[in-house]
Structure 1
């Protein structure tokens, strides 16, 4: 039976409304979907360790618990290190606050001398900015509270996903017809490998950047160099904004604790050099080599993820689009979209090839007339 072909504008309209519906649902159910997405990525990351324990004759439930316990120990160790550094930083906070107040007073005098704005108007401007930032503080507090609730919810999801992974995989195989089983198996295998490689690459990049940041700040004699270096590496996970804040923190610390501007310039130069190494060596070879997504799509997807789910969306956007590319590359009708997402640049344009064929067609079709 011949299938009915609908006009392109009708197909495009249906696809557009479908995308709008999907985005609306994802935005409305963000509180449910975000923890599930993080749990799915963590479960895939821990699945390799869990399988090794099971192959070592460890029962499934103890293997899952041991895998999660190891992950919790690593995360708790990181938080303990950061908290101990923060407590040490808090001991010198009064001294830093007094020095910062002195610098602020000098800055007010400089602004008055060069721009004619008296200190009273400067204080009014600062107070107005503080009042306008109350709503931002409230949103940040809500985000922190939401994150705390997610922290207690994600382990439950991870445990259940690892426990029922066979059931989930069997469901995916049974949903599709039997002739597509090979494609489904290939998609699942490559999706798992891509997510595992991406997260491991991201953690490796963060560790290397943290070491480089800390060493640079120690050589420049910036107080709490290790704490600021680790925080800068964690902020580097957030595109655009994270990098700016990561540079601003050591510059502010150097301004408060050192006279002159030599240390600040050294910090800026060191961080720019580290960013150059990160963007041109670490990311292409460690992270981007695992997830073959071109730079244009990466930037657009990260911004869309931020608009949809905020910071969580920025982090989840790249592995999500990598999964989509794996699916697109396995379906004939969607292969052009998979090529669009990838970073393989064609050497010749198909439009150019088509023009050459068109220009050569009359010469090839000419026949001698009698």
Structure 2
């Protein structure tokens, strides 16, 4: 971290054409390291988020019992909650296969209709269509395989994440002391502010996100049950989980019940009602739930959110998509606290200025009384 004088000296010592390649080289090296060490860093990143989320509970329990016991009890509570959700979803998935034969038949009929339409409209023959589908399937298998690849793939979920979480909470004081001591005394106050804000932002973000996901799951399930969609609860919960992915997940969440209605009902009335219901739910979510429940101190604008989610998917697959938003939120907190990086923090935020700098300069030339602040 640099203070104001250091950043000014760097601007004077190094011109832009030297700093730009150095920054790009640093980014390339960082991305390469993150890609190579994904099997180690992905569970570590999830463990850090879980540790921050469980920290308030551990602190409360520490007042009544030993620290290790408090950590174990907190992790057991989290494990029971996850196991309960997994049991609920597995029970719903079991009902999904009750009418799978009828859905297969309807899917075959729809596939035949689509093949004929493509051949008549675009002149794409049946063999070419099968080839295109096979290529798309192979690409999706490659993506899934990349996400789950590596000897540590399954091990990370079963073993590494709980162990990392336990050790991070156990050595929390040691890690914090290291972060304070690694910087000079004049920057320790700023480091403390960054750490405090980061912890509060991540905690409020994750807790709010869990509450929001639960409410959206209930609304999705109720809407689909009213419309008579099969496996309504399962699809509603999956849609709420997909909604954790900004903008992209919402599109997939709508596609799932529409596809289910297409395979199990005749006509298109149900599909249109599903789209209308999900549009209303998205409106309530974006304008009421997110501003009031997901009370994160860091707001990231839509453009950066989409780009970061796609970059996370390219770098770490599906886990990267979920980790991208908390990661960029932490970066924004750091950028807002460092003088030379504040423009980057403003770029990530969702505060849209009414006038750009060129307009302000012209106004100042016309009226010198306008404050330069």
User: Which structure would you say has the larger RCO, counting Cα contacts within 8 Å and 6 or more residues apart?
Assistant: 2
Q: Does 1:47 align with 2:55?
A: yes
Q: Does 1:200 align with 2:207?
A: yes
- 76-85 vs 91-100, greater mean Cα deviation: 91-100
Alignment of 1:165-180 (within 5 A): 165-180=172-187
Equivalent residue in structure 2 for 1:150, among 140, 150, 156: 156
Q: Does 1:316 align with 2:323?
A: yes
Query: What corresponds to 2:70 in structure 1?
Result: 63
Alignment of 1:326-365 (within 5 A): 326-359=333-366
Q: CA deviation at 1:267?
A: 1.2
Go from structure 1 to structure 2 and tell me whether the alpha carbon gap of 1:263 and 1:356 turns closer, same or farther (over 3 Å shift): closer
Equivalent residue in structure 2 for 1:6, among 5, 8, 14: 14
Go from structure 1 to structure 2 and tell me whether the alpha carbon gap of 1:59 and 1:257 turns closer, same or farther (over 3 Å shift): same
| Contact 1:194–1:291 (Cα < 8 Å) also in 2 | yes
Alignment of 1:13-24 (within 5 A): 13-24=21-32
Q: Which sections of structure 1, spanning at least 5 residues, go unmatched?
A: 362-370
Q: CA deviation at 1:215?
A: 0.7
Q: CA deviation at 1:22?
A: 1.6
| Contact 2:254–2:275 (Cα < 8 Å) also in 1 | yes
Q: Does 1:101 align with 2:105?
A: no
Q: Which sections of structure 2, spanning at least 5 residues, go unmatched?
A: 1-5, 369-373
Q: CA deviation at 1:54?
A: 0.4
Where 1:287 maps in the other structure, the secondary structure is coil
d(CA) in 2 for partners of 1:36, 1:24: 17
Alignment of 1:131-280 (within 5 A): 132-141=136-145, 143-144=147-148, 147-152=153-158, 153-280=160-287
Where 2:229 maps in the other structure, the secondary structure is coil
Q: Does 1:282 align with 2:289?
A: yes
Go from structure 1 to structure 2 and tell me whether the alpha carbon gap of 1:218 and 1:178 turns closer, same or farther (over 3 Å shift): same
Where 2:313 maps in the other structure, the secondary structure is helix
| Contact 1:38–1:154 (Cα < 8 Å) also in 2 | yes
d(CA) in 2 for partners of 1:314, 1:209: 20
d(CA) in 2 for partners of 1:105, 1:8: 59
Query: What corresponds to 1:30 in structure 2?
Result: 38
Q: CA deviation at 1:9?
A: 1.9
Q: CA deviation at 1:103?
A: 4.3
Go from structure 1 to structure 2 and tell me whether the alpha carbon gap of 1:218 and 1:359 turns closer, same or farther (over 3 Å shift): same
Go from structure 1 to structure 2 and tell me whether the alpha carbon gap of 1:319 and 1:128 turns closer, same or farther (over 3 Å shift): closer
d(CA) in 2 for partners of 1:277, 1:317: 24
d(CA) in 2 for partners of 1:135, 1:352: 48
Aligned residues: 356
d(CA) in 1 for partners of 2:122, 2:147: 40
Go from structure 1 to structure 2 and tell me whether the alpha carbon gap of 1:137 and 1:337 turns closer, same or farther (over 3 Å shift): closer
Q: CA deviation at 1:141?
A: 4.2
d(CA) in 1 for partners of 2:112, 2:343: 60
CA offsets 1:121-162 (integer angstroms, 9 cap, x no match): 436623551355134225424534665332121111001101
Q: Does 1:325 align with 2:329?
A: no
CA offsets 1:239-287 (integer angstroms, 9 cap, x no match): 3442232222211221222222211111121112222222333233333
- 90-99 vs 254-263, greater mean Cα deviation: 90-99
Q: CA deviation at 1:106?
A: 5.4
| Contact 1:214–1:229 (Cα < 8 Å) also in 2 | yes
Go from structure 1 to structure 2 and tell me whether the alpha carbon gap of 1:58 and 1:275 turns closer, same or farther (over 3 Å shift): same
Where 1:92 maps in the other structure, the secondary structure is helix
Q: TM-score, normalized by length of structure 2?
A: 0.86
| Contact 2:147–2:318 (Cα < 8 Å) also in 1 | no
| Contact 1:238–1:311 (Cα < 8 Å) also in 2 | no
Could you say what the CA RMSD is over the residues aligned between the two structures, in angstroms?
2.6
Go from structure 1 to structure 2 and tell me whether the alpha carbon gap of 1:110 and 1:8 turns closer, same or farther (over 3 Å shift): closer
